[in-house]
Every structure is written in C-alpha cells, then in structure tokens.
Chains A and B, each alone.
Chain A
Amino acid sequence: MSKFLAFSVPACLGRFVLLAAPLALAVGCATQAPAPVDDRIAAEQVRAPAAAETRGLQVFALRNPAVTELSEAAVQAEQAGDLGRAVTLLERALRIEPRDPELLQQIAEIRLGQGQWDQAESHARRSFDVGPRVGELCQRNWRTIALARERQGESEAARSARDRLQACQVEPPPRL
C-alpha cells in the first residue's frame, strides 16, 4: 500500500484558474453595487418598531418544516452578511410555499438591505396581499413600502403608505 502515493492533499484545484474575473465584469445585470450602510439599517427599521408593537391581532400560520428550515438558514446567512445566499434560500422556500407572506416579507427586507427598492416594494406588497393584512406583519409590509418609496423619491406615495400603516393595528374583525 505504502508503495504508492496516497494523497490527502487539500484541494489543489486552485491552479485551474479560469476566466472568472473578466466574466464577472461582463455580467453587469447580475451584480449590484453593495448598498450603503444606512440601507442595511433600513431593514432593521422595518422590523424593530413592528416587533415592539405586538399588541392587536397577530396571525400565525402553520408552516411546513421545510420552509422553516430554509427560512432559518436564510436568517443566519443574512446575519453573516451573505444577502445573496439568504435570497437564494428564501426563493427555494418560496417555491415550496409560494404564498407564504412571511417569506415574501423576509425577501422584501433583504431587498431593502441591497438597495433594490422596487423589488422591496413589490415583495412587501405581495406579502400584504396574501398575508393577514393586520398586525405585526402588516406593519412591516407598509413600513417597507413606505421606505422603498421614500428612497425612490416618491414622497407622496410614501406618505399614503405611512397612512395605510396605521390601519394595520386594528381589533380582530368580526367573523361572518
């Protein structure tokens, strides 16, 4: 056995350098400039106030454990600063549960962090449409929409989103 070299060398593949760098430059559409620091904080602005306002109606849906697993992995990736991986994980979860309002809002907040205002707004809007439309999630939806609109310079539309935000905190509607 010892006659032959039995390698357990760590990956030697570093030599196989390919044309990665010029290619990355060629793909303008796929990469974005990192968001300025205060945009990252924007996502926190959306979450923090809503978390403090957990009065009123809260709606919690039963979740597929696969969705939970992916969504938790996404939170970890986001905390580690890997926003791209976080979105990949959330989109995998969204393929499993395309109408999960929590997932959609998670993506919206990461898009805020990435400075992709239009996608932040669209995802928050979709989250609202399929979500409970009251309570904490509703507030995060409209806070995201308001912030995204502000950053896009649509102050009038942002104001109406802030107004809509107020309506999230309602008593539970009577069942008919």
Chain B
Amino acid sequence: MARKRSPGKTPRGWLYRCSRAVLLFALGCGLGAIGPWVWWLDREAGQRFADRQWSQASRVYARALELYPDRALSAEALALELAAVGLRPGDPNQIGRFEHRGDRVEAHLPGFLFADERQPPQRLSIRFRADAVAEIRDGGGRTLSLARVPPAELGSLMPLDDRDRTLVALADFPPLLVTGIQAVEDRQFAHHHGVDPRGLVRAAWANLRHGQVVQGGSTITQQLVKNLFLTPDRSLLRKASEAVMAMSLERRFDKADILEAYLNEVYLGQDGARAIHGFGRAAEHYFGLPVQALDAGQIALLVGMVRGASWYHPQRNPERARARRDRVIDMFFQTGLIEEEQWRAARSAALDVRDGQARPVRRHDGFLDLVSRQLRRDYRDRDLRGTGLRIFTTLDPVAQQHAERVLADGLARVESQPDQLQGAIVLVEPASGEIRALVGDRHPGRFGFNRALDARRPVGSVIKPFIYLLALAQPERWHLVSTLDDAPLAVPVRGHDPWRPRNYDNQSHGEVALMDALARSLNQATVALGLEVGLPALLRLFDQFGISGPGDAHPSALLGAVDLTPLQVAQLYQPLAAEGYSAPLRSITQVVDADGSEIGRYGTRMRPIREREALALLDVALRHAVTDGTARSLSWRLPNDPGVRGKTGTTNDRRDAWFVGYTDDWLGVVWTGRDDNAPAEVSGAASALPIWADLFGALPLRAPARSWPERIEWYWIDWPRPLLAGEDCPNARAVPFVVGSQPTDYSPCMGIEPDPPRRRLWRRH
C-alpha cells in the first residue's frame, strides 16, 4: 500500500489505522496459508511414503560350495573358501567364525537366502581325510549328507544414486536392534504421535542454553521424514515441516511400517563412493554378517553410529566409536534390554569390524566383466541397477585365486625382463559349460584390457585337433594309425607364391602314424591332411561348436593362422572335454529379483555333436600328445596326472604360446604373449604348459571315468604300422577304432595264417 498523505487527516491517526490493517491482513494471510500448507505437507508425506521404492544394489554371487562326504576338497581349500565368503577365523560358536585345525574345520555359517530356499545359520563340523571330505556334522552332532556354504559376494551393480542397501523386513531384524534403537534414539516411540513435546522442550532448552542448535530432540519418525523428504538444513521452517509430516505419517501408517522404513533408510557411513543406508547393509559391510547374526556389542556399535556415522566411524575413529558403543551398551542395560552378563561381555569385547582391506580387493574383475556383458545382453540397464536383483554365477573363488597366482608366478618365471609378458586363463567345468575362473590380466587388481575375452590372437597348433577330428569322422578313410606323409609341400595360393609350411624343427619326418603326427604337432603332415578334409569343412566345424568362423580362407589357417580369444578356444574345446556334448560356456546360472522370484535361469543346454565317435578317438590322440608328444613334460610337472589330454600351441616367431588341456572335471586354457604382439620368446610347452600344470596341480582332480560310444572297438596294433597284431607282439599297442575301420592286414609277428580269425581285443558298450 502506497504511503500517500491526504489533506485533512492527522498523520498519527492514519498511521495507526494503516498499520492495524496491515497486521490484520498479514494475520489473515498467515492463517489462510497455514491451512493449505499443512494440508499439502500432510498429503505429500502420505503419498510419498506409500509410493516409496527403495533402490537396492543388485548383487553378484559366486557359486555356492556344496559339501558332501567324498567331495574332493582339502581342509585348506575349505578354509580359503570360507574366508572368501567372509567368515573369519575365531570361535566357531559365534556366527561367521570358523576354526581350521588339522583335518577338521569347525564353522558357523551365516544364514543366506538362496534362490531356492532360506538357509538359517548353521554350525558345521567337517572332518577330512586325504583331500576329501570324510564327514559332516551339524551343531546337534547329526551326520549330514549335504551342506551348502553361502556364496561369496563378488560385486554389485549400484543404483544410480549410489545408495547401498540390503532391505530387511522388520520381523527379520534382531529384537535387540528393534528395541535398542528406540532406547537410544526415541524412548517415547511407542506412545507419541510423531513428535515428542517433552523431547522437544528438552532440546529447545539445551539449544537456548548454548545459543545455537545442538540437539535435535527428533523422534524416529521425524528423523525418517528428514531423511526421506527434506534437505538437511536446520531452519525453523524445515523443523516445522518435519513435525507436520511426522504427525501425518503417524496418522496414516502404523508404527511397524515406520520403524521398518527407518531401519532400512538410516545413513550408516560410506563404502568408498557408496552411501550405506540401513542396518542390513551396515551389518554386511562392517561385520561381514547378515544383520540377524549380530551380537549385542555389534548392534550397539551400529545403533551408536546413527548419531553421526563418520564421527563415530569404527575404522577412522575407533576410540570415539568404542566410547559411543559402550555408552549405548549401558543404555541397553539400564533400560533392561540386556542382562548383566551380556552387558559385561559386550563392554569387554573388541570392536571387531572387518579389516577395511578385506572387502575392496578388486579380484574377479575379469569374470565380473563377462557377467556384466551377459547381463547387458539380456536386460536393460535400468532393470539391473537399483532393483535389488541377485545374480548367481559360476565362479569358484578358490580356483580363481589359484588361477591369478599361477599366472603371475608363471610369467615372472619365464620372462627375461620384468612385466614383459601378459597372459590369460579360462577354467571351465566342461560337462555344464560353467566358467569357474577367468583371468584377463597378470595383475589381479589392475583392470582394463580383458585378454581372456578380448585378446584375439593366432591359435597356432591348438587348431590341429579339429583337422584330425574331421579326418577321423570319415572312418572309411582315416583311423588313428593311418599312415601320413610328413614331407615338404607347396600349397598354391591364388595371386601369391605357393605356401611352403615347415616343421618346428625344420625337418621332415616321413611316414608317421596319424595319432603321432598330432601328438608331435608335425606341420607338414597336418597341412597335407587338412587339404584333404578341406578348409571349408574346418570352418563349418567351428560354426557347429559355437565359434563364428573366421572368414579368412588362406591355407595357413590349417596351422592356426586364425585369431581367437582364450574364451573362444575354451568354447571350441568344450565338446572335446565333455565327451561330445557341446554346451555354451556361461557365467550366470540364475537371476532372482528382490522378492526372491526367479526372473532368469540359465540351465545347462547341451547338444550332442555329430562326430562323437571320432571325438572319442581324438581323445586318445590328445592323451598320446601328453604321454608321448609335445606336452610330455606334464608327466613330471603334474605327478598325479589324472589322465590329462591336451595340446600345445606356439605361433610364428614365438609370439603366442597356448596350452589347452582337460580332465573329466576341468578344462583349462592358458595363453601367454605380449600385448604389442612382438616376438615374445614363448612356446606352448615352455611358457603356457607350466602355468597350466600349476593351476591343475592346485585343483581337486578326480580319476577319469570315460565311457566310449557304442560303435568303438579296441584292437592290438603293431605300432606304429597299421597292422593287426597280437598282445604278445613286441610293439603291440591297444588302439580304438570305429567298428569296421580297423586295419585288415596282419603284422608279420603274428605268423602267416591262411584264414586268420578276427583278433578282436574287446568291445566296449
């Protein structure tokens, strides 16, 4: 209103009337505005609380270790596994602790929500004998035939707001936490209507005395409102909004809902860039335990942190955190929540949080890379982040640790200058196609170029078995003792000079048995055979085995001038190791949403390949390569050889070295070379094979139990000539043949018989 002097009126009377009008107007405006403001806050609080959607990180888990009598596993390996899962050495009567003593492991496994069932915490006592589980007993002394160790958490896909949270239902929080938080933060919680006037008065008095805001006096409901809806500033207006919204929540929702939301929302510190919200995640982060498994002291520590998560941080400010914890324990005791005995025990216990280093070791990065690629192929990014998915994978954390170590050690052993070489390892369980370990860099912590997935390198002789497979698939033309000619040859190449392959030792070896040509990796004999079966057939075979064939059709592809990644090589060899059943290699077994319902399942999908009989013969030839061929150094590197079959590979100028080998339980691919593709002075037998042997030496290995296809028969052969022999002949050797493809001529050592009987050795069904 403009100030205007009008004649005839006294200035004083005017001023009086005017200011009264302004005051009245302001009062009216105020009263008129408060109503809608309160109404709006009330509606807003109600709606936003009802519609709230917690974002929750999606977590990736390793495979769960199954324990059962006779499982090939050492006590040491189990201790490693338990440590990877997050258990710590200690008194096994406490959840999350284990004790390894001699041939026994005592463990108290924390509970875990598996995809198929909720498993409560479990006290186990496991006895071992000679690298196998002998007996498992539970806490009551009963013998168990099967127990499952919760899987290690490998990593998580964070929601976009970077709030890390593990949602827990109110009924699943430990009772002491539920009551204790009330004892410390809001003793009137059960009775008030959102605000606690007495607490407010107390806080106001304290603030007045100090001349500034020092005490909140907020109820649990107010704290929740502040966290959920409001900014953290401490203005009077915000305080008023908070009170109104708190009362609104109390009016609309019951105490249980409010408390549950509070326990899941409250801020409890940082994990790097991630904010830890709620007691569920805090328990996992600080203690490596599900919240249900916390004891009184641990609960007290976390409850104490509510007042200031960084001020009372147990790692950064351990003394302050300890004093605060003890204060909280006292409050628990004073309010009758714990007995005197518990009080004493809790006060004298150490803080006992996880070592800050234990968690963020950046292992498994190469594997997680593969997992996230597969997830991104099947899901949208916004469905993955913040939706609380639980992704169960195939990784074996102990095998992964071994693989990382043997690669680093093995490269350091062979290189002439430090850090010159790089390498990759892929370890697979062939029957299911599940990837158990994957290393894409010799430094486990360093993560950038993932060589296991992305380094496409020439495979060299690693390709040869597939040429022999194609030949053996024509039993009317070739068998394992067919005679091949290892002699100089010139292969015409259109528009170029003819290609003249040479052997590794620059010599030609003349007539050799087919099985020997593969075992000794003879280039000239192999190229001659490859030209007979044809390059297009080889590329078709690759296709059938799940590798999109390289378009390049230069005949040098027959000697492995084909670029493949270590993962592709593993895929190529998988059907060989799985007795002729191809299965896509996979890293994920199951994806479960936050409610526990399955949204994705990646079961074993297998397909019998056509060349199963030829494959059984090839298997014998690859065994021959290990016992008598280029891989024979395995016999002393791996003293307890469980029947390994394998093939070395070395490329031109010794740039790449490969070894691929398998047993019935495992298939392993090792590649070594230089990132810049320079000559690296490596070879399959000298660089890659020792690493492979170290890896397999650390794995639990079982004796092979192969079964032969129906149409395979074994005969005595006058090795290495394709002649039938008798068991007593000096060079006699048992060789399998596809029925009807065996030689028909007899060795001289048999003596000439006019109508010799069939010398069948045995027939396997």
**What residues make up the interface of A, taking CB atoms closer than 8 Å to B?**
1, 3-13, 15-20, 22-24, 26-27, 29-30, 64-66, 68-70, 84-85, 87-89, 91-92, 94-96, 98-99, 118-119, 122-123, 125-126, 129-130, 133-134, 173, 176
Contact = CB atoms under 8 A, between A and B. Distances in A.
A124 B317 CA distance: 62
Contact of A88 (B116, B260, B597): B116
A22 B69 CA distance: 43
Given A16-B167, A18-B594, A122-B581, A26 B380 contact: yes
A99 B663 CA distance: 14
Interface stretch (B175-183, B508-516, B693-701): B175-183
Given A18-B593, A19-B387, A92-B66, A4 B190 contact: yes
Contacts of B603: 87, 91
Which residue, of A3, A11, A68, A176, has the highest number of chain B Cβ atoms within 10 A?
A3
Given A5-B255, A122-B606, A122-B607, A23 B379 contact: yes
A17 B182 contact: no
A173 to B, nearest CB: 7
Contacts of A173: 765
Contacts of A176: 762-763
Nearest to A164: B710
21 contacts: A4-B190, A5-B178, A6-B175, A7-B171, A7-B178, A9-B170, A9-B171, A11-B171, A23-B379, A23-B599, A27-B599, A30-B378, A30-B601, A65-B146, A88-B590, A91-B432, A91-B603, A94-B431, A122-B581, A133-B765, A134-B765
B379 A29 contact: no
Given A15-B257, A27-B379, A173-B765, A4 B182 contact: yes
Contacts of B429: 95, 98
A84 B590 CA distance: 11
B175 A3 contact: no
A98 B379 contact: no
Rank and list the top 5 A-B pairs by shortest CB-CB distance, nearest first. A66-B68, A65-B145, A66-B146, A30-B600, A13-B169
B299 to A, nearest CB: 14
B707 A129 contact: yes
Interface of A is mostly: helix
A5 B183 CA distance: 10
B378 A27 contact: yes
A29 B378 contact: yes
B342 to A, nearest CB: 14
A106 to B, nearest CB: 13
B608 interface: yes
A119 B593 CA distance: 26
A84 B602 CA distance: 11
B705 A99 contact: yes
B255 A126 contact: no
B643 to A, nearest CB: 14
Interface residues of B, number: 73
B595 interface: yes
B378 A4 contact: no
B579 interface: yes
Contacts of B69: 64-66
Contacts of B664: 98-99
B259 interface: yes
B129 to A, nearest CB: 16
B705 A12 contact: no
A95 B595 contact: no
A18 B182 contact: no
A92 B190 CA distance: 47
Contacts of B604: 91, 94
A96 B379 contact: no
Contacts of A129: 579-580, 612, 707, 709
A92 B259 CA distance: 39
B171 to A, nearest CB: 5
Nearest to B383: A23
B542 interface: no
Contacts of B443: none
B420 interface: no
B187 interface: yes
B256 A12 contact: yes
A122 B608 contact: yes
B179 A4 contact: yes
Contacts of B337: 1, 4
A10 B171 contact: yes
A83 to B, nearest CB: 11
A5 B167 CA distance: 20
A118 to B, nearest CB: 7
A23 B593 contact: yes
B171 A3 contact: no
Given A66-B146, A126-B608, A8 B171 contact: yes
A98 B68 contact: no
Contacts of B70: 64
Contacts of B187: 3-4
Given A12-B169, A65-B145, 20 more contacts: A4-B182, A4-B187, A6-B179, A7-B256, A8-B171, A9-B171, A18-B593, A20-B593, A23-B599, A26-B380, A69-B146, A85-B116, A95-B429, A122-B606, A126-B606, A126-B608, A129-B709, A133-B765, A176-B762, A176-B763
A71 B474 CA distance: 40
B251 interface: no
A91 B748 CA distance: 53
A13 B171 CA distance: 9
